[in-house]
Copies of this chain bind each other. A is one copy, B any other.
Amino acid sequence: MYERNSVAELAEALKRELDRYSPGEKLPSSRALVERFRVSPVTVSRALATLAAEGLVTTRPGAGAFRTAPHAAPVRLGDTSWQQVALSAESAAEAIPRAVDATGVLTTLAEPPPGVIELSGGYLHPSLQPERALAAALGRAGRRPGAWGRPPIEGVTELRAWFAREIGGPAGTLAASDVLITAGGQSALTAALRALAPPGAPVLVESPTYPGMLAVARASGLRPVPVPADAHGVRTDLLAEAFRASGARVFVCQPLFQNPTGAVLADERRREVVRVAREAGAFVIEDDFARRLAHEDAPPLPPTLASDDPDGIVVHVCSLTKATSPSLRVGALAARGPVLERLRAIQVVDSFFVPRPLQEAALELVGSPAWPRHRRNTAAELRVRREALLTALRRELPAVTADFVPPGGFHLWARLPDGTDEDALAAAALRAGVAVASGRPSYPAESAAPHLRLSFASATGVAELAEGVGRLRTAFEDVAGR
């Protein structure tokens, strides 16, 4: 609202001044525009993007913005207003929303504008990514004969076997044939939800939960139904009634280092989840995205739900991406019984298969000496960063406290004082130069209590974490003042 007016105003001002620049000439730097117009870096970025979309300006990452040269003719603008009608056309089942809300996903995916500290990211900072090992793995993989050919539809067999061992554990209860390779965790979640629930169906979810999963569910025409969760994971005492009341046949569960709370599902609740689902004739989607993100001081990890599931209640989802690098989009689905065929069919039909070089690079990486070194380094670093963020909060912003200290994952689920507007605070934080995630998109329905989800993985290091908290305090005082 206020933000969007600034963007439109700045875009107008820049448009009026464009004549001062020859075609192809460089416009003032982002920093100069911030100073001159007294707006935030993100406003400048968005205003330039507006002009770029109209073909008036060309932005080149790292180089700056330029008045568009004449040979690159501006796009002929026709009249696309008719599309709004077409895209809003009544759906066959009225319960199905037509808009696709990608906000919750974009928050963690998109890089913030330059100069903005990133406490919102869902990925390891590049300095923590095993870049050299990945480059080497990809080089070796790319040179193999047949490296670019078709992999088997279900994935390279060795990689399926590796995931089967990882997911099934030492008891070896999962076979390679129970595993499908996917293009990362999000693709696996998408396939699982679409396989298990028809459009219009309810699906039980933890509340709060991972906003990206809510976005997928809604985009697929599903209706997320919240089941409250606490420090020990989902409230299994409420689960049976939730199945009964909603008629849902799917529950999406994150038993380990839940996003956003970081909770680990208590032992007795683990058994309950599977038992209650079985009685309801339902599936449990086990989203095990954070298994490789344990901190150095985490207690021994519980096994996966999928490792003890002979009746095929559990559809397991996991991925290598968060533990390595955003572009290593290699994940897995594991399931038993007829549902595996349904999953395979959906995956095949939607996107065929995962490029062979990526699969081979993943195999090379996890089979190299660099892998255990990287795992240990990640575990140690995440612990250091977690503590640095907690310390900075206690020191600078004691009104904002973590519900509890997570022993794994990237996030702190930070409770705000009652009555705080989470979205307004996140917007103010962005203007103050730090990107944080409002807790609101994590709830399928209304927020139980205002939170921020703070990531400690994507900042450059502990100094930036502290600086980020300082900027957050500025924003907090700003919002509290009103």
Contacts and interface: CB of A to CB of B under 8 A. Distances in A.
Interface of A: 52-53, 55, 60-61, 71-73, 75-87, 89-93, 95-96, 98-102, 105-106, 109-111, 123, 126, 129, 131, 134-135, 138-139, 142-143, 146-153, 157, 171-175, 177-178, 183-184, 186-187, 190, 194-196, 198-201, 212, 215-216, 219, 221, 249, 281-283, 309-312, 324-329, 336-339, 342, 344-346, 348-358
Contacts of A142: 134-135, 138-139, 142
B153 A110 contact: yes
Given A106-B348, A348-B102, A327 B53 contact: no
Contacts of A85: 281
B109 A312 contact: no
A190 B220 CA distance: 12
Contact of A123 (B126, B150, B338): B150
Given A85-B281, A357-B358, 7 more contacts: A75-B174, A79-B310, A82-B281, A102-B346, A183-B183, A326-B356, A327-B357
Nearest to A147: B135
Nearest to A84: B338
B349 A215 contact: yes
Contacts of A110: 152-153
A195 B87 CA distance: 8
Nearest to A350: B190
Given A110-B153, A111-B150, A199-B221, A338 B138 contact: no
Given A173-B75, A201-B92, A353-B109, A219 B82 contact: no
Nearest to A104: B349
B53 A351 contact: no
Contact of A150 (B109, B309, B337): B109
B109 A126 contact: no
A348 to B, nearest CB: 5
Contacts of A351: 183-184, 186-187, 190, 329, 351
B178 A75 contact: yes
Contact of A148 (B143, B325, B342, B346): B325
Nearest to A310: B78
Contacts of A325: 148-149
Find the residue from A87, A106, A358 having the highest chain B CB count within 10 A. A87
Contacts of A339: 80, 83, 87
5 contacts: A53-B177, A83-B338, A102-B349, A134-B142, A350-B350
> How many identical chains are in the complex?
2
B75 A198 contact: no
Contact of A80 (B174, B215, B281, B337): B337
Contact of A198 (B96, B101, B311, B349): B96
Contacts of A105: 348-349, 352
Contact of A129 (B129, B148, B200, B358): B148
A79 B338 CA distance: 11
Contacts of A135: 142-143, 147-148
Contacts of A75: 173-175, 178, 336
A151 B281 CA distance: 41
A147 B133 CA distance: 12
A284 to B, nearest CB: 12
Contact of A91 (B123, B198, B212, B216): B198
A186 B153 CA distance: 14
A309 B326 CA distance: 35
A82 B151 CA distance: 32
Nearest to A218: B349
A152 B45 CA distance: 14
A357 B253 CA distance: 32
- A53, A102, A126, A171 — most chain B CB neighbours (10 Å): A102
A216 B352 CA distance: 11
Contacts of A77: 310
A248 to B, nearest CB: 10
A95, A126, A178, A357 — most chain B CB neighbours (10 Å) = A357
A75 B176 CA distance: 10
